[in-house]
Structure formats: structure tokens, C-alpha cells
Amino acid sequence: MTKYIKYIFLISFLILFIFGFKNYIGSKIIYSIFTLTSLIMLTYSFKREYYFFEIFFCFFIFLNFWLDFVVTISFYDYFFSEGFGSFTFNKQSLDDILLLSTLVCFSITFSIFLRRKYFPKKNKKLDKIKLSNKFLIFSKKYNILIYLILTIIVGILAFINFKYSIYQRGVANDIEINFFLKYVLQWLLLFGFASFFCVLIDLQISNNIFNKLFTLFILFESLISNLSILSRGNILNSSSIIFAIYKTIRVKRLNYLLFSAIFILIFFVLGIELSSPIRGDESIINSSLVFQDFKTNSESFFKEIIISIKNFFYFIFSRLFGIEALMAVYSLDGLGFDLFYKAFSYKPSIGEVSFFDTLKEDYRENTLSKVSITLPGIVAFLYYSGSIYFLLFALLFITVSFSFFEFLIFKYCNSNLLLCSLFSQVIAYRLIHFGYNPSNSYMLLISIFLNVIIIIFFYKIINMIKKNFNI
């Protein structure tokens, strides 16, 4: 099965490459080198002794640079919907952007090479917590109840957050609430609850009592948490956890992969369809109209289906920040470290246009009630410096540093691969969407660090109870 997935990917990749090759107006050689480097970076991250951060970071770079570029020039006539500043789409400018992107891919690939050469390996044979038969019988009997209780708690807090708009994306909120309570709720909905599910499932996998149906609770938690914060990204946390489960379980992995893929897609589309009207956007699929047309005209029905699919993919690619942001920064005058420091120290205010949007002069309007921005991402942000060497070294440092952080999570959290995957995805995703209030990024790292500390203490308590009470 996995080999068929590889074949499908390679065939799809080749088809897109040919479309891009045909439509690219610059140097075909540079385009081909960019393509090859992107492919090497992505596939190299999946090799043995992989780290989840490297996989997610490479995947996001591949998605936001190569795939976004090729799809846009092939099917959307070079129209990058999130804005490209003053970038002129002449041959030289396009070649320069692809060369820059090629160096980015090379730097990240080289960092993975260095990590594999000098980092300690993850010892997957480390002793994991094994529970007694008495506890296993109890766990098997009340598994569903435990998941239901946790899900109900998620639902209650998600509802409270939604009703009072305590933390929501795209909404400028000035509600009066205790600082501690606000950030605790934000942490729980972003990845706190997901991390608790990771611990629970890892204990079950370690003791051979995991049921694939429990995956639905992961998907449901991600859905309601993201709906609560008005985010369409419910696929992110759930997919990272499921990916780690797939890598961890030893039996029926392919069955689990198929089962998970089907429900991930269902929950992903459901999340977009439910959140879009709430955020004031038009439904992407508009199924009621489609099936109404089917009753009257089957030809119109299939046209609507095609339009819906096209609109869906356009929506997905319109939310990618990567190569077009690099185009916008590349076209700026006055690149240098002064601009970089200014961007890093910038503090956004409610109703103001973001720093990046102001610079590229094709921005969305912000109001006192609605926040709508585009983001440079970590690559374009680092290129504010105007220094290729700084950009490449910084990416190398970032990749190695967060890979090491993942190693520490693995070492001190019961070798829990699910936690490694979840937190690595959160960090990689934030890097790709870096640029809004960048100096405040330490808050995310602190919250992840504290989350890890809580889980370390939890495992210590479990070991203490096991030792003293033999469970």
C-alpha cells in the first residue's frame, strides 16, 4: 500500500512538474533545479532516523513554495491571491526567486544531514510505562467513558470561548477577562487538550489496548477546538497525532492509514464548511445549491461539482504564505538589518494594517472588530535582512535547534512519539506563519515548554503510583 502511495505521489509530482515546465517563462534549467532540490528536501526528511519537526517543516516549505508556485503558474495564470507587492513577473525576477527558494531547500536539507551525523539517535527501545493487568482490565472497561469525559470538557470550554469570543482568530477582542484564565484557555484549545489525548493514547499503545476508533475522538476534539477559535486548521493537530500513531503501531498499519485518511478528509471539509459562514465567508462547497441543481438538471449538477472542487483548491492555495511573500520582500527597496530589526520589534495594534501588509501595499483592511492580515512566513521575514547568508544560516540554526527540542521531548516524556509529532507540527506551522507580532513568539515556546513540564510530572506520578500500588 505504501509503495502505491509513493507511486501516486511521484506521478502527481511529475505531472505538475511538466505543467510548470510548460508555463514557466524563465530559465527552464533553474526551474528544474528548484524542482529537484524541493523533492530531495521533502523525501530526505522521511528517511530513517527521522524527526517529526524536519518532516513537517520540509512539508510546509514544499507546500508553500514549490507546490504553490507550480499550481499558480499552471492553473491560475500567475495570480498569487495573497499579494506579491511590487514584484515584476519578468524572467530575471522569477529566476532570482527560484534560486533563492532553491538555496532555502538546500539549507534545510543540509541541516538534516548535520543533525543525522552529530545528534544522538532516538532510542525507540526505551522502557515505556507498562501497567498491571488490574489497571488494564479497568482501562479496557472504561476507555470510552474516559474519552467521552475528556471530550465533554473540551466541548464545554470550547463553547464558553466561542460564546464570549475570548480567543478567536480574525477577531479583535477587548473583552475583560483574567490574564491567566485567558491564556490557559487559549493554550488548551490550541494544543493543550490535544497533548492530553497524546498521553492517553500513548499509554494505550504501549499496553496494547489501543482501538483505532479512538481516533475519532482526536478528530472531534480538533474540530470543536478549532471551530471555537474560528480556525479552519482542524486538520493540523489531528493529522500530526494520527501520523505518529501510524508510525508507532506495529499491526494493521495500512488499515489504520486508510481509515484515518477517510475521516481526516471528512472532518477537514466539515470544518471549512462550518467555520466559513461563522467568519462571514461564503461556503466553499455550497452543497444545498449543488443538489438542488441535480434535481432539475444533471448537467448543471456536474458543472457545480467541478466549480466547487476548483473553488475548494483555490481556497486552500490562497491560504498559503511562502513564495509570494518572498516575492513581495524581494521587490522592496531598503532591505537590510535595520528593516529586519524594525519588523521584529513591531507591535501591532487593533485596527492597524500589519507591518508586512504596509510594506507590500496590497493589504487587507483591518478594523476595530475584524483582523485580516497576510504573513511573510519565516523565510521572507529573515530575508528582510537582504542577506542570503543570514537567511541560510538562520534556517539551518532553526532546523537543528527545534530538532534538538524534539529529542528532549522524546527523552523526558516516556519516548512519546505522539507528543513529539504534535509539538513539532505546532512549531513548524507557526514558523511558516511567522511575522505577526514576531517579538511575542516566545509566548508560544514558553507555553509548549510548560506543557511538556506538566506531562513530565504526570509521567512521574504514574510511575510513583505504579511503584507504590502496583498498577
For 144-212, what is the HEC assignment?
HHHHHHHHHHHHHHHHHHHHHCCCCCCECCCCCCCHHHHHHHHHHHHHHHHHHHHHHHHHHHHCCCCCH
pLDDT by residue (tens digit) across 129-146?
777 777 777 777 788 898
Confidence at 446, pLDDT banded by 50, 70, 90: very high
pLDDT by residue (tens digit) across 345-368?
988 776 677 788 888 766 666 655
pLDDT score of 270: 84
Task: Locate 128 and state its grid cell.
Answer: 515505556
Q: What is the dihedral of CA 60, 374, 358, 98, to 10 degrees?
A: 30
Confidence at 302, pLDDT banded by 50, 70, 90: low
pLDDT by residue (tens digit) across 208-231?
888 888 899 999 999 999 999 988
Show Cβ contacts of residue 381 under 8 Å, excluding neighbours closer than 6 positions.
Answer: 329, 340, 343, 434, 435, 438
Residue 294 clears pLDDT 60, i.e. is over it? no
pTM of the model: 0.90
440-471 burial: b if 16+ Cβ within 10 Å, else e? ebeeeeebbeebbeebeeebeebeeeeeeeee
Angle between helices 287-296 and 298-318 (to 10 degrees): 160
Confidence at 75, pLDDT banded by 50, 70, 90: confident
Average pLDDT over residues 310-320: 69
Strand-pair partners of 171: 370
Average pLDDT over residues 65-88: 87
pLDDT score of 119: 82
Which residue, 363, 367, 281, is CA-closest to 328? 363
Residue pair 344/382 in contact (Cβ under 8 Å)? The answer is: no
Average pLDDT over residues 441-460: 94
pLDDT score of 470: 63
Residue 426 clears pLDDT 70, i.e. is over it? yes
3-state secondary structure of 129: coil
